[in-house]
Amino acid sequence: MSEVQQASGAERAAARAEARFDGAAEPLASAGPDAAPEDRAVATPVNPHGQRVSWAELFFDLIFVFAVTQVASAAQNAVSAVAVGRALVLFVPFWWAWVGVSILYNGVEPTSSRRHLKVFAPGFGAFIMCICVPDAYGGRGTVFAFAYLGIRALLVFSIRRRGFFHDQFNPYTVSAAVSAPLFVAGSLTALPTRGWIWLAAAAIELTTPTLLRRRLDDLHFDASHLPERFGLFVIIALGEVLVGVGVQESHQGLGWIALTALALAFVLSCALWWTYFHFAAPALEHALREARIQSTLVRSVFSHGHLAIVTGLILIAAGLAQTVRDPLRHPGGVHAYFLAAGTALYLLSFCYTRARMFGGMGVARLVGGLLATALAAIGPFAPAVATLAALAGLVIALNAFEAWWVAGDRSVLIIRTGRGAIPGA
């Protein structure tokens, strides 16, 4: 049984790291001999701190604001746990498309007109998918699936021109040849068959990078660009938390109870931001820069770990929208668990990412996640605003404890789980 141990000096350094690290930029993934001329020169970025997110990528991200909003709304309107699961399955192709574009342009500044178009083209496909979300399991499922198939085809074309992978059998080609066509095949069936086929397609998407991990070991990534990209997606999801609350409350009266719920929702959102960006975000960049095999972290911490983080925020957004609608109501059904379960998933996701980076789970966030899980269990028996207040207090207390603990130059308490991805962990 694992016992509580103190983090190493490398982990303390990561906890205290600034948002940017000094030092030369890393060597990036080199393009293969078959790469197109505009993609062949994968040079070290001009910025000595590494590649920055481009304006084209930021514009591309706006489409996924819409995607998060649509999926959160679908979860909010679900009438059963199965319907909630189906709504969350819809987010997987969105997420995998976004990850695919982010990795495609890691190490390549999309500054030319041609590269801008290569960013905008999959963005159009994602935009069509967003419009189809409310009826994806109905009449618009085929349009949703073919739009995703188009995105995967575009990404395969672009990644081959860049020459990023030395092997033609890679996650991009598997997605285009297997999982995306499965979405199309599923769209030609009715429920519940469509739901099962799409679940299988989503599972293939999520497991392929792990199954093909040995083929990815020689890839190198810019250690500034990817953490910034994924951090920006967390900002997108946090924005949806506030937007969902604001849209819901803008159509109702603002009494004292409603204002209290709004204030608590805003405080919880700020606390969730603090949990990610005060310590976790700098540690992510530090870990990616120091990792023995960078693709291990890109697969586990960024692709999978951040999917769990964002899924937690989607559930929180759906739960908050219902809380501010009727703060004193005892929520019923599956909706009663959204707010606390989303917070628990959000906090426990950091335990997973820390374990993959440093070989151990943070005790404070583990306890916080377990307490949030306990609050989820009692959610149906308490007014929604009471659960919201308890969660806001919990996350604030967690952040305050971590700040006090580190300020005292103490080692971060962790439960060892194995070997981390960085040397010495």
Q: What is the mean pLDDT of residues 258-273?
A: 93
Q: Pick the residue with more confidence: 163 or 408? A: 408
Using the predicted structure, report yes or no on whether residue 41 has a pLDDT greater than 60.
no
SS3 250: coil
Q: What is the mean pLDDT of residues 56-68?
A: 91
Cα–Cα–Cα angle for 356, 357, 361, rounded to 5 degrees = 65
Q: What is the mean pLDDT of residues 93-122?
A: 84
Q: What is the pLDDT, as a whole number, of residue 109?
A: 67
Of 4, 2, 6, 13, residue with least CA distance to 422: 13
Q: What is the pLDDT, as a whole number, of residue 6?
A: 42
Q: What is the mean pLDDT of residues 78-87?
A: 93
Phi, psi of 418 (to 5 degrees): 150, -160
Using the predicted structure, report yes or no on whether residue 9 has a pLDDT greater than 70.
no
Q: What is the mean pLDDT of residues 130-134?
A: 96
Q: What is the mean pLDDT of residues 137-166?
A: 89
Q: Pick the residue with more confidence: 14 or 282? A: 282
Tell me the pLDDT band of 423, cut-offs 50, 70 and 90.
low
Q: What is the mean pLDDT of residues 166-193?
A: 90
Name the DSSP letter for residue 5: E
Q: Which pTM value belongs to this model?
A: 0.85
Q: What is the pLDDT, as a whole number, of residue 255?
A: 79
> From CA 407, how far away is CA 214, in angstroms rounded?
40
Q: What is the mean pLDDT of residues 75-83?
A: 91
Phi, psi of 87 (to 5 degrees): -65, -40
Tell me the pLDDT band of 25, cut-offs 50, 70 and 90.
very low
Q: What is the pLDDT, as a whole number, of residue 411?
A: 81
Using the predicted structure, report yes or no on whether residue 32 has a pLDDT greater than 70.
no
Least confident of 4-18, 143-157, 176-190: 4-18
> From CA 221, how far away is CA 29, in angstroms rounded?
6
Using the predicted structure, report yes or no on whether residue 26 has a pLDDT greater than 60.
no
**Which regions of 281-364 does DSSP assign to beta strands (E)?**
360-362
| Longest CA span, the chain | 66
Give the range with max mean pLDDT: 215-219, 301-305, 331-335. Answer: 301-305
Of 404, 417, 416, residue with least CA distance to 15: 404
Contacts of 38-47 spanning 24+ positions with Cβ under 8 A: 38/112, 38/114, 38/115, 39/108, 39/161, 39/162, 39/163, 40/163, 42/107, 42/108, 42/162, 45/109, 45/222, 47/224
> From CA 118, how far away is CA 110, in angstroms rounded?
9
Phi, psi of 117 (to 5 degrees): -65, -35
Q: Pick the residue with more confidence: 286 or 350? A: 350
> From CA 15, how far away is CA 373, in angstroms rounded?
26
Instruction: Give percent above pLDDT 70 in the chain.
Output: 85
Give the range with max mean pLDDT: 129-138, 160-169, 213-222, 276-285. Answer: 129-138
CB 344 within 8 A of CB 392: no
Q: Pick the residue with more confidence: 230 or 114? A: 230
pLDDT in tens, 218-240: 778 888 888 899 999 999 999 88
pLDDT in tens, 351-402: 999 999 988 899 999 999 999 999 999 888 889 999 999 999 999 999 999 9
> From CA 109, how far away is CA 319, in angstroms rounded?
38
Mean pLDDT of the chain: 83
Cα–Cα–Cα angle for 414, 315, 72, rounded to 5 degrees = 145
Using the predicted structure, report yes or no on whether residue 200 has a pLDDT greater than 90.
yes
H-type helices in 105-179, by residue range? 113-132, 141-162, 171-174
Instruction: Specify the pairing of strand 360-362 against strand 413-416.
Output: antiparallel
Total Cβ atoms within 10 A of residue 213:
15
> From CA 311, how far away is CA 307, in angstroms rounded?
6
Residue 51 zone, left/alpha/beta (φ > 0; ψ -120 to 50; rest): beta
Q: What is the pLDDT, as a whole number, of residue 372?
A: 96
Q: What is the DSSP string of 373-399?
A: HHHHHHGGGS-HHHHHHHHHHHHHHHH
Using the predicted structure, report yes or no on whether residue 247 has a pLDDT greater than 70.
yes
